[in-house]
Amino acid sequence: MDERWAIAAEEGGGAVLARLQPDGQPAGHILHEPDLAAAVGSRPQVTRWVWRSSAEIYPRLLASGVRVDRCYDIENTEGLLLGHAGRLGEPRSLAAAWARLTGAPVPPDPPARAAVPGEQSSLFEIQEEPVAFEALLQVYADQLRRHGDAEHPERMRLLTASESSGMLVAAEMDRAGLPWSETVHRELLAELLGERFGGSGEPRRLTELADEVSAAFGHRVRPDLPADVLKAFKNAGYQVKTTRRWELETLDHPAVAPLIEYKKLYRIYTANGWSWLHDWVHDGRFRPGFLPGGTVSGRWVTNGGGGLQIPKVIRRAVVADPGWSLVVADASQLEPRILAAISRDPALMKVAGDSGDLYKAVSDEAFAGNRDMAKLAVLGAIYGQTSGDGLKNLAMLRKRFPRAVAYVDDAARAGEEGRLVRTWLGRTCPPSGAPLDAATLEGPPADEPTPDSRHARARGRFTRNFVVQGSAADWALLMLAALRQALAPLKAELVFFQHDEVIVHCPTEEAEAVSTAIQAASDLAGTLTFGPTPTRFAFTTATVQNYADAK
């Protein structure tokens, strides 16, 4: 039984709410109640809550111990609908949507507040003037109609529903937090970097390595200043253009080894050192501030602390609670499988129908068993390779998997021509900024590319990748939604999500059930997103005490 209610927070902790008819209009009286969380918590029969912003409301509900099954996030949906209509970038607040509906001047979105370490996810909340409840009801009804204007209305409904669900997942993950051992982290820092001068100065190891670098050059060189390092190498007779690690590695000079070690440790020191620990880890939990759909392609971002860039060495600090385990699962070779599902290339679907090594299967099919070649060709197709040996491999791929390559080629061409490009469910890549003239588009891969043609080509690589990466993000939303539902009766908690990888923290006795639930969620997401497809989305799962042991 579908029972929808709309709700909005009122001053002083109260709420205004109303039951809705299927068309979004209120089904009865509009109620005012003194306690927002109680208003929701006392209505467990409600199947979907319609509200302005999950980031505004849901952390408050969670803080009161109230969870909801489903929601409909009006401002998030407004962004997706605007994007689909090629109007990404227009204000997406409820107030703006209401103004567009009534013909009033459209207010710009308030600027997002800067990240504040340790604060709960409500920091994403758009701070704006309260809008009448009537506006919320009317904008909701209007959005329901606008879904019908989409190229694939059913897919669009799936997209907005699943991203609303993603908002719930994000708030719940931030509430739970990733278990983080401050002790292990400090031990790790001491082991890698040594003690700090005066307890808070530069770590001993960095000072030593900087001295080694200077000694190797015979004069003072500061390794954290690229200009300094470049000059030193040039004076020593080495031609280098940058101080990037892979370029330095080609040089035969005694400064190289300590320099590379310095860069590695310096990165850890600045990005995940003592200050990071102080700022971002509290009460044994790291809360990255997940934001679903934070990128154009629909990938999530985090609001602070570099939550999606936790270096592998630092993962030793992610430790399950006593008696609990971490179920770490990543979707294997996700992007080529997504390409199979969206392109419906028969040969690629066939190899993606097996959960084994996809690149090996592709190599058997088209590259005489050379897996490296096959992998390069597939990645080249997805990323838009422009040079190198891979091009030859790409030609072979095109021959054996024509529909798959045509799919991304079409996306690239659409991008180069400035047309809209969409993911499978309808998330839309905004049109390119600079319009391109016909000559630019026709122009052959000129010997000397014009800025416009370079721009068009870069655009094409972007949109080529967008359809795959973005459709993977579509799939991931449905996978998370299904997993969240499956975990609801357990003690297990989703605590981390990173593009194609999830971590569930659970009592050890639940680990097996969790692993099963993850694969089931993956299978369900495949069917829900793409319809019946032979493509398998296999998860590689490890149950560990320590994140570092998962790989």
Partner DNA sequence: GACTAACGCATA
Partner DNA sequence: ATAATATGCGTTAGTC
Binding site for DNA (CB under 7 A): 115, 224-227, 230, 242-246, 263-264, 267, 270-271, 276, 294-297, 299, 301-312, 330, 372, 376, 379-380, 383-390, 458, 461-462, 465-466, 469, 498-501
Least Å distance between CB 450 and DNA?
17
Classify residue 174 as exposed, middle or buried by CB count within 10 Å of its CB (0-12, 13-18, 19+): buried
Least Å distance between CB 172 and DNA?
20
Q: CB neighbours of 454 closer than 8 A, spacing ≥ 6? A: none
Closest to DNA by CB, 150 vs 248, is 248
Query: What is the per-residue DSSP string for 409-473?
Result: HHHHHHHHTT--EE-TT--EEPPPSS---HHHHH--S-SS--HHHHHHHHHHHHHHHHHHHHHHH
Closest to DNA by CB, 165 vs 465, is 465
Closest to DNA by CB, 224 vs 437, is 224
Least Å distance between CB 532 and DNA?
26
Least Å distance between CB 430 and DNA?
10
Closest to DNA by CB, 46 vs 210, is 210
Closest to DNA by CB, 143 vs 343, is 343
Closest to DNA by CB, 6 vs 394, is 394
Task: Give all strands (DSSP E) within 69-221, no chain letters.
Answer: 71-73, 178-179
What CA–CA distance (Å, rounded) separates 464 from 410? 8
Query: 233 is written with which tokens?
Result: 């190498």
Residue 241 DSSP SS3: coil
Least Å distance between CB 131 and DNA?
27
Q: What is the CA radius of gyration of the chain?
A: 26
Closest to DNA by CB, 145 vs 454, is 454
Tell the residue number behind the tokens 């006593």, with chain if given. Answer: 322
Least Å distance between CB 33 and DNA?
37
Residue 427, CA atoms < 13 Å, CB-side half-sphere: 30
What CA–CA distance (Å, rounded) separates 212 from 99? 64
Q: Which residues pair with 72 in a beta bridge?
A: 50
Q: CB neighbours of 61 closer than 8 A, spacing ≥ 6? A: 36, 37, 40, 41, 67, 68
- Counted residue by residue, the chain has a size of 551
Least Å distance between CB 312 and DNA?
4
Least Å distance between CB 148 and DNA?
29
Least Å distance between CB 277 and DNA?
12
**Centroid of chain to Cα 162:** 14
Closest to DNA by CB, 143 vs 333, is 333
Closest to DNA by CB, 473 vs 487, is 473
Neighbours of 83 (CB within 10 A): 23
What CA–CA distance (Å, rounded) separates 150 from 144? 11
